[in-house]
Protein backbone atom coordinates (compact mmCIF):
# COMPACT_ATOMS: atom_id res chain seq x y z
CA UNK A 1 0.00 0.00 0.00
CA UNK A 2 2.78 2.41 0.93
CA UNK A 3 4.59 1.82 -2.38
CA UNK A 4 1.39 2.46 -4.34
CA UNK A 5 0.99 5.81 -2.55
CA UNK A 6 4.65 6.53 -3.27
CA UNK A 7 4.08 5.99 -6.99
CA UNK A 8 1.12 8.36 -6.98
CA UNK A 9 3.17 10.94 -5.10
CA UNK A 10 6.17 10.41 -7.37
CA UNK A 11 4.07 10.90 -10.49
CA UNK A 12 2.89 14.29 -9.27
CA UNK A 13 4.26 16.84 -11.77
CA UNK A 14 6.11 19.13 -9.38
CA UNK A 15 7.74 16.27 -7.53
CA UNK A 16 8.83 14.58 -10.75
CA UNK A 17 10.36 17.74 -12.14
CA UNK A 18 12.74 18.38 -9.32
CA UNK A 19 13.49 15.27 -7.32
CA UNK A 20 13.93 12.17 -9.48
CA UNK A 21 17.68 11.86 -9.12
CA UNK A 22 17.66 12.48 -5.38
CA UNK A 23 14.79 10.06 -4.79
CA UNK A 24 16.29 7.35 -6.98
CA UNK A 25 19.52 7.56 -4.99
CA UNK A 26 18.19 7.94 -1.44
CA UNK A 27 14.73 6.41 -1.30
CA UNK A 28 14.07 2.92 -0.02
CA UNK A 29 10.55 3.17 -1.49
CA UNK A 30 12.06 3.65 -4.95
CA UNK A 31 13.78 0.30 -4.58
CA UNK A 32 10.50 -1.37 -3.57
CA UNK A 33 8.66 -0.34 -6.74
CA UNK A 34 7.54 -3.17 -8.96
CA UNK A 35 8.55 -3.29 -12.62
CA UNK A 36 5.35 -1.74 -13.96
CA UNK A 37 5.51 1.13 -11.48
CA UNK A 38 9.14 1.86 -12.34
CA UNK A 39 8.42 1.80 -16.07
CA UNK A 40 5.50 4.20 -15.52
CA UNK A 41 7.81 6.64 -13.75
CA UNK A 42 10.70 6.31 -16.21
CA UNK A 43 8.42 6.82 -19.21
CA UNK A 44 6.79 9.90 -17.73
CA UNK A 45 6.99 12.97 -19.97
CA UNK A 46 7.20 14.98 -16.77
CA UNK A 47 10.42 13.31 -15.64
CA UNK A 48 12.99 16.09 -15.50
CA UNK A 49 16.60 15.09 -15.15
CA UNK A 50 19.91 16.70 -15.97
CA UNK A 51 20.99 13.73 -18.06
CA UNK A 52 19.85 10.29 -19.09
CA UNK A 53 22.81 8.95 -17.15
CA UNK A 54 20.70 9.48 -14.00
CA UNK A 55 17.94 7.28 -15.45
CA UNK A 56 20.40 4.51 -16.34
CA UNK A 57 21.98 4.70 -12.88
CA UNK A 58 18.52 4.51 -11.27
CA UNK A 59 17.68 1.42 -13.33
CA UNK A 60 20.89 -0.30 -12.23
CA UNK A 61 20.31 0.65 -8.59
CA UNK A 62 16.76 -0.75 -8.74
CA UNK A 63 17.97 -4.02 -10.28
CA UNK A 64 20.87 -4.32 -7.82
CA UNK A 65 18.43 -4.20 -4.90
CA UNK A 66 17.01 -7.62 -5.84
CA UNK A 67 19.46 -8.71 -8.48
CA UNK A 68 18.45 -12.36 -8.89
CA UNK A 69 14.82 -11.59 -9.65
CA UNK A 70 15.27 -8.26 -11.45
CA UNK A 71 18.23 -8.56 -13.80
CA UNK A 72 16.00 -10.30 -16.34
CA UNK A 73 14.12 -6.97 -16.66
CA UNK A 74 17.10 -5.04 -18.01
CA UNK A 75 15.79 -4.98 -21.59
CA UNK A 76 12.39 -3.58 -20.57
CA UNK A 77 14.06 -0.93 -18.44
CA UNK A 78 16.75 -0.12 -20.98
CA UNK A 79 13.98 0.78 -23.40
CA UNK A 80 12.92 3.49 -20.93
CA UNK A 81 16.34 5.15 -21.08
CA UNK A 82 16.72 7.61 -23.95
CA UNK A 83 19.94 5.98 -25.07
CA UNK A 84 20.50 8.42 -27.93
CA UNK A 85 20.84 11.23 -25.41
CA UNK A 86 23.72 9.56 -23.58
CA UNK A 87 27.25 10.56 -24.47
CA UNK A 88 29.05 8.04 -26.62
CA UNK A 89 31.66 7.65 -23.92
CA UNK A 90 29.09 6.91 -21.19
CA UNK A 91 27.24 4.47 -23.43
CA UNK A 92 30.36 2.51 -24.30
CA UNK A 93 31.94 2.53 -20.84
CA UNK A 94 28.87 2.13 -18.61
CA UNK A 95 25.94 0.80 -20.63
CA UNK A 96 27.32 -1.45 -23.36
CA UNK A 97 29.87 -3.00 -21.02
CA UNK A 98 27.53 -3.53 -18.05
CA UNK A 99 27.27 -7.22 -17.08
CA UNK A 100 23.45 -7.15 -17.08
CA UNK A 101 23.53 -6.01 -20.70
CA UNK A 102 26.44 -8.11 -21.94
CA UNK A 103 24.86 -11.26 -20.53
CA UNK A 104 21.40 -10.64 -21.99
CA UNK A 105 20.99 -11.55 -25.65
CA UNK A 106 17.80 -9.48 -25.92
CA UNK A 107 19.84 -6.32 -25.29
CA UNK A 108 22.19 -6.79 -28.27
CA UNK A 109 19.90 -5.34 -30.98
CA UNK A 110 19.26 -2.25 -28.85
CA UNK A 111 22.99 -1.83 -28.18
CA UNK A 112 23.82 -2.16 -31.88
CA UNK A 113 21.09 0.29 -32.87
CA UNK A 114 22.30 2.82 -30.30
CA UNK A 115 25.94 2.44 -31.35
CA UNK A 116 24.98 3.13 -34.96
CA UNK A 117 22.98 6.18 -33.93
CA UNK A 118 25.75 7.56 -31.73
CA UNK A 119 28.35 6.91 -34.44
CA UNK A 120 26.27 8.78 -37.03
CA UNK A 121 25.74 11.59 -34.55
CA UNK A 122 29.49 11.81 -33.86
CA UNK A 123 30.30 11.74 -37.60
CA UNK A 124 27.77 14.50 -38.29
CA UNK A 125 29.25 16.56 -35.46
CA UNK A 126 32.73 16.42 -36.95
CA UNK A 127 31.85 16.92 -40.62
CA UNK A 128 33.68 19.81 -42.23
CA UNK A 129 31.53 21.99 -44.44
pLDDT digits (tens, 9 = 90+) for 2-39: 455 555 555 554 455 557 888 889 889 899 999 999 99
pLDDT score recorded for residue 68:
96
Q: Which domains does the chain have, with CATH numbers?
A: 2-125 (1.25.40.420)
Query: 66: number of CA atoms within 13 Å, CB side?
Result: 11
Confidence class for position 1, pLDDT limits 50, 70, 90 = very low
Give Dmax over CA atoms of the chain in angstroms: 59
Amino acid sequence: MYVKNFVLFFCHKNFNRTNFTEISIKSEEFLELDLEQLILILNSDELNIKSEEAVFDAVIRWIDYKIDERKINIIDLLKCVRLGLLTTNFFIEKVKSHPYIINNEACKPLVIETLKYLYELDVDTYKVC
